[in-house]
């Protein structure tokens, strides 16, 4: 028997109406709360999803009639169907990598609603991402392939519409991976399902981006395809244009803090490599901005080099670097210099070391994979700098 994902239904843990997908081996997996269940639906330890099979299902271009999606929209999204007589038996949603190669498919059995994966969608971009060049005015993100195509058609086939890969449960992870692409658009409209999981995922995704960039739709019906099937194009368009910019809640009167005022919030602290500075400042703390100033040639760059190396050796976090007055090679040699206790950023000093020694210093510093530097050229404006900060903090998890 071929291993595959079967029908989907309600999750006994999170309450999602259709996030829990049964597998042919007897267990199920909820893509909304990322929980695996055994044959008797008892919660098990979450385990990786089984390896996907090779791409082998082939179809033809045609309308998804049971979903009211036109042949033109299906063709736009490279979605094909298998047909028996005049009835669609399967939908085939194609996924692509950054290079534009079709590396995976999701296949849906129309009659049973069973769905399985062929190939490797883990390494794929968002569904539909390959179709729309970044940098446009609007992009809409949905929870599923059918909803992405539905939204595209409902909006007059004018604006970019994409989907996360496995519903609300993967939304944050998928959007982090696609951060640069999504952030290149002027406006991001989030059109997730109108259930608890969809609303929570909407807020988590919106928090990735700068204030007022994301707008969250408030829909009368469950999802975009419901509007399409009912012929409610104008209602969907109205909900889309009326989507509200995401703003974090929580404005309160300080009088109401009460005992919470004296409850310490967690704040990770890392000591500086210099005892006297720790005596004065009590170290580095996450969530704070620290500024070092001085005249030219007084050691600011040396302090930064020492601190980057110190954070490498004394934390497990990634480190983001925007060194606007030097190239990335200089940045790399600056970090290696602290390890070598020699100014490797100076060519004449670097040449005194063998390539084997330099490789060892490289391995012990930038070879850790924890340093990320912005490779810039020429002038750069403030908004772009802030965007790079946000990308490093959110997508690359630099502390």
Sheet holding 115-119, edge to edge: 60-61, 80-84, 87-96, 102-109, 115-119
Rounded Cα distance between 167 and 15, Å, is 14
Nearest to 162 by CA among 202, 189, 184, 183: 189
Dist CA 42 CA 155 (whole Å): 42
Residues with Cβ within 8 Å of 20's Cβ and at least 6 positions away in sequence, in order, are: 8, 9, 10, 11, 12, 28, 29, 30, 31, 32, 37
Beta strands in 19-163 (DSSP E): 20-23, 28-30, 35-37, 43-44, 60-61, 80-84, 87-96, 102-109, 115-119, 138-142, 160-163
For 134: left if phi > 0, alpha if psi spans -120 to 50, otherwise beta; the answer is: beta
- 118 - beta bridge partners? 53, 105
All domains of the chain in start order, with CATH? 5-44 (2.20.25), 135-251 (3.40.1360.10), 269-394 (3.40.50.300)
pTM over 0.75: no
HSE of 135 in the Cβ direction (CA atoms, 13 Å)? Answer: 1
Residue with tokens 């007084």: 298
Neighbouring residues of 198: CB distance < 8 A, sequence distance ≥ 6: 143, 168, 192
User: What secondary structure letter does DSSP report for 12?
Assistant: T
Say how far apart CA 338 and CA 332 lie, in whole Å.
Answer: 11
Range 265-277 burial, b when 16+ CB lie within 10 A, else e: eeeeebebbeeee
Nearest Cα residue to 239 out of 262, 256, 259, 215 = 215
State how far the Cα of 137 lies from the Cα of 149, in Å rounded to an integer: 18
What is the DSSP code (8-state) at residue 222? S
Give the distance from CA 225 to its chain's centroid.
24
Contact 83, 35 (CB under 8 A): no
Helix (H, G, I), strand (E, B) or coil at 189: strand
CA terminus-to-terminus distance, the chain: 47
CA-CA distance, 374 to 399, in Å (whole number)? 15
Question: Which mean pLDDT values do the consecutive 10-residue runs of the chain (399 residues) have?
Answer: 57 66 70 64 42 73 92 94 90 93 90 86 93 93 94 94 90 92 94 89 90 90 93 93 80 79 81 92 88 90 90 91 86 91 90 92 92 79 83 86
| Contact call for residues 126 and 164 (beta carbons, < 8 A) | yes
- Tokens 């929570």 identify what position? 200
Residue whose tokens read 């975009």:
224
Which pLDDT belongs to residue 367? 92
Pairing of strands 87-96, 20-23: unpaired
Distance CA 147, CA 192 (A): 9
Helix boundaries (H) for 259-299: 275-281
Query: Nearest Cα to 64, choosing from 240, 228, 222?
Result: 228
């Amino acid at each position: 028997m071929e291993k595959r994902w079967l029908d989907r239904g309600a999750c006994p843990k999170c309450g999602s109406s259709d996030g829990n997908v049964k597998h042919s081996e007897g267990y199920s997996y909820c893509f909304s709360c990322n929980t695996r269940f055994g044959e008797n639906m008892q919660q098990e330890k979450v385990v990786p999803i089984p390896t996907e099979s090779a791409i082998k299902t082939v179809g033809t271009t045609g309308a998804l009639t049971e979903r009211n999606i036109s042949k033109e929209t299906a063709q736009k999204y490279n979605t094909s169907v298998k047909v028996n007589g005049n009835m669609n038996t399967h939908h085939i949603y194609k996924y692509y990598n950054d290079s534009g190669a079709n590396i995976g498919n999701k296949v849906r059995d129309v009659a049973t609603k069973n769905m399985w994966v062929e190939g490797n969608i883990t390494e794929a971009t968002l569904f539909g991402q390959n179709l729309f060049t970044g940098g446009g005015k609007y992009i809409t993100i949905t929870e599923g392939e059918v909803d992405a195509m539905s939204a595209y058609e409902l909006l007059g086939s004018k604006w970019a519409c994409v989907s996360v890969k496995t519903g609300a449960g993967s939304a944050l992870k998928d959007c982090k991976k696609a951060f640069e692409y999504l952030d290149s658009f002027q406006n991001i409209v989030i059109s997730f399902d109108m259930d608890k999981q969809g609303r929570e995922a909407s807020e988590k995704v919106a928090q990735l981006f700068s204030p007022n960039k994301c707008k969250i739709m408030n829909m009368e019906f469950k999802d975009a395809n419901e509007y399409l099937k009912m012929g409610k194009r104008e209602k969907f368009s109205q909900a889309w244009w009326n989507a509200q910019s995401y703003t974090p809640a929580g404005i309160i009167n300080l009088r109401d803090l009460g005992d919470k005022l004296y409850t310490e919030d967690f704040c990770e602290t890392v000591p500086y490599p210099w005892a006297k500075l720790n005596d004065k400042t009590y170290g580095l703390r996450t969530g704070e901005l620290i500024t070092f100033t001085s005249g030219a040639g007084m050691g600011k760059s040396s302090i930064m080099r020492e601190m980057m190396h110190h954070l490498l050796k004394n934390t497990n976090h990634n480190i983001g670097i925007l060194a606007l007055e030097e190239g990335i090679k200089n940045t790399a040699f600056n970090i290696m210099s602290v390890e070598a206790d020699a100014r490797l950023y100076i060519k004449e000093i670097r040449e005194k070391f063998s390539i084997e020694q330099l490789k060892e210093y490289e391995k012990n510093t930038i070879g850790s994979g924890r340093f990320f530097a912005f490779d810039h050229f020429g002038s750069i404006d403030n908004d772009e700098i802030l965007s790079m900060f946000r990308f490093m903090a959110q997508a690359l998890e630099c502390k």
